[in-house]
Amino acid sequence: MASTIHKSVMPAEVLSYLGLKPGDRVVDGTLGGGGHTRLLAEAVGPTGQVIAVDRDPGAIAHGAEIFAGLPVRFAQANYRDIPEVLDAVGVDAVDAVLLDVGLSSDQLADASRGFSFDADGPLDLRFDPTEGEPAWRLVNRLRPESLADLIYEFGEERFSRRIARRIAAVREKAPIQSAREFARVVASAIPRQYPPPRIHPATRTFQALRIAVNEELKSLQIALERTPTRLVPGGRMVVISFHSLEDRLVKQAFRNTQVWECLTRSPVDASEEETSRNPRSRSAHLRAARRLPEPGDATSA
């Protein structure tokens, strides 16, 4: 990946809520195209440190290339394993953590990964192509009832039963392999709507499969539970999510008043100017919280 087309969401809001100072140490748990990482590195300066984490080996390789000379260290890992990443680099605690959860534009543009409805490549959908089960295999092996449950639970798709039955009928003739083929199968199962919906009819089903093969909700839940243990008292966490299932987990976690002081009463959305420039930001929700001191700890930031 020689260049990136990904545009980071709500950069000004991220910096405002993280409140970074020169010399701070911060984790970017979702490196992606590196836009947020660069902002964080500039904010902490040469005396600070950014630990950039991503499951995608392509994102790590790209980051190592474009951030040479900046105070950034890289780790190919799941952000739920931030404590282990920090142990590996000899850092006890950090001043801030950022998670921009979900899919990057670079991954969408890579036809070999199957994230795009128009991709002729295999329906893979894994962030780390060396780990776990590709989506095409899941689609071809699950019983229709289990497939429908998965699509409904993770995609909130009301036509999940119809979609699962259609998938089962098509795969009886030949296994479903490519993302484009799968998108056509899903679209053929959904009744035409008037006016047509704003999103592609396969959007929620693709989302459901991607969440399933990457264990995204499980990873986010674990990260929200484990990350506070590696934040200094007063340290801040910002999470940007892109659908209600993720946002609900973040909202519930930040309501724990024994751990967090929530800094966002309701989710922060991108401005109209940003959404016109970067349509992906339309579905983004930002929440932020400050880590409270441990009982008996007199220090706070």
The CATH number for 151's domain is: 1.10.150.170
Alpha-carbon span 126 to 213, nearest angstrom = 6
Contact yes or no for 170/189 (Cβ under 8 A): no
The angle subtended at Cα 11 by Cα 118 and Cα 28, nearest 5°, is: 80
Is 150 within the bounds of a domain? yes
Is 138 within the bounds of a domain? yes
Q: Are 111 and 204 members of one domain? A: yes
What is the band of 7 on the pLDDT scale with cuts at 50, 70, 90?
A: confident
Question: pLDDT at residue 128 above 50?
Answer: yes
Alpha-carbon span 93 to 164, nearest angstrom = 46
Q: Measuring CA to CA, which residue among 94, 98, 100 is closest to residue 234? A: 94
What is the band of 297 on the pLDDT scale with cuts at 50, 70, 90?
A: low
Contact yes or no for 28/50 (Cβ under 8 A): yes
Q: Are 209 and 85 members of one domain? A: no
Boundary (domain end) residue, out of 215, 247, 265? 215
Residue 30 pLDDT: 93
* Tens digit of each residue's pLDDT (9 = 90 or more) over 71-100: 999 999 999 999 999 999 999 999 999 999
Higher-pLDDT residue of 113 and 89 is 89
For 71, the domain range is 11-106+217-291
Listed in sequence order, the residues at least 6 apart from 272 whose beta carbon sits closer than 8 Å to its beta carbon are: none
Which CATH number covers residue 41?
3.40.50.150
Longest dimension (CA), the chain: 67
**DSSP assignments along 250-270, one per residue:** HHHHHT-TTTEEES-SS-B--
Residue 112 pLDDT: 72
Q: Are 203 and 225 members of one domain? A: no
Is 53 within the bounds of a domain? yes
Please name every residue paired with 152 in a beta bridge, in sequence order, or none if there are none.
Answer: none
Contact yes or no for 254/287 (Cβ under 8 A): yes
Q: Minimum mean pLDDT among 5-14, 131-140, 220-229, 237-246: which range?
A: 5-14
Please name every residue paired with 53 in a beta bridge, in sequence order, or none if there are none.
Answer: 75
Boundary (domain end) residue, out of 171, 191, 215? 215
Q: Are 145 and 209 members of one domain? A: yes
Residue 6 pLDDT: 58
Question: pLDDT at residue 2 above 70?
Answer: no
Residue 189 pLDDT: 96
Cβ burial of 18 (10 Å; 0-12, 13-18, 19+) is: buried
Is 75 within the bounds of a domain? yes
Residue 231 pLDDT: 98
Q: Are 88 and 138 members of one domain? A: no
**DSSP assignments along 116-155, one per residue:** STT--SB----SSTTSS--HHHHHHHS-HHHHHHHHHHHH
Q: Are 31 and 118 members of one domain? A: no
What is the band of 113 on the pLDDT scale with cuts at 50, 70, 90?
A: confident
Is 32 within the bounds of a domain? yes
Boundary (domain end) residue, out of 183, 215, 247? 215
Is 93 within the bounds of a domain? yes
* Tens digit of each residue's pLDDT (9 = 90 or more) over 27-53: 999 998 899 999 999 999 999 999 999
Residue 241 pLDDT: 95
Q: Minimum mean pLDDT among 97-106, 126-135, 272-281: which range?
A: 97-106
How many structural domains compose the chain? 2
Alpha-carbon span 19 to 13, nearest angstrom = 10
Is 6 within the bounds of a domain? no
The angle subtended at Cα 227 by Cα 211 and Cα 65, nearest 5°, is: 70
Q: Which amino acid is at 192?
A: R
Q: Are 125 and 202 members of one domain? A: yes
54: helix, coil or strand? strand
Contact yes or no for 208/153 (Cβ under 8 A): yes
Question: pLDDT at residue 5 above 60?
Answer: no
Is 190 within the bounds of a domain? yes
Alpha-carbon span 35 to 72, nearest angstrom = 13
Question: pLDDT at residue 106 above 50?
Answer: yes
Average pLDDT, the chain: 91
Q: Measuring CA to CA, which residue among 146, 139, 144 is closest to residue 125? A: 139
Q: Which residue in the block uniquely carries the two structure tokens 């545009």?
A: 7
Q: Are 197 and 155 members of one domain? A: yes
Q: Are 169 and 229 members of one domain? A: no
Cβ burial of 139 (10 Å; 0-12, 13-18, 19+) is: buried
Alpha-carbon span 275 to 280, nearest angstrom = 7
* Tens digit of each residue's pLDDT (9 = 90 or more) over 133-164: 999 999 999 999 999 999 999 999 999 999 99
Q: Are 209 and 121 members of one domain? A: yes
Q: Are 34 and 80 members of one domain? A: yes
Q: Are 205 and 229 members of one domain? A: no
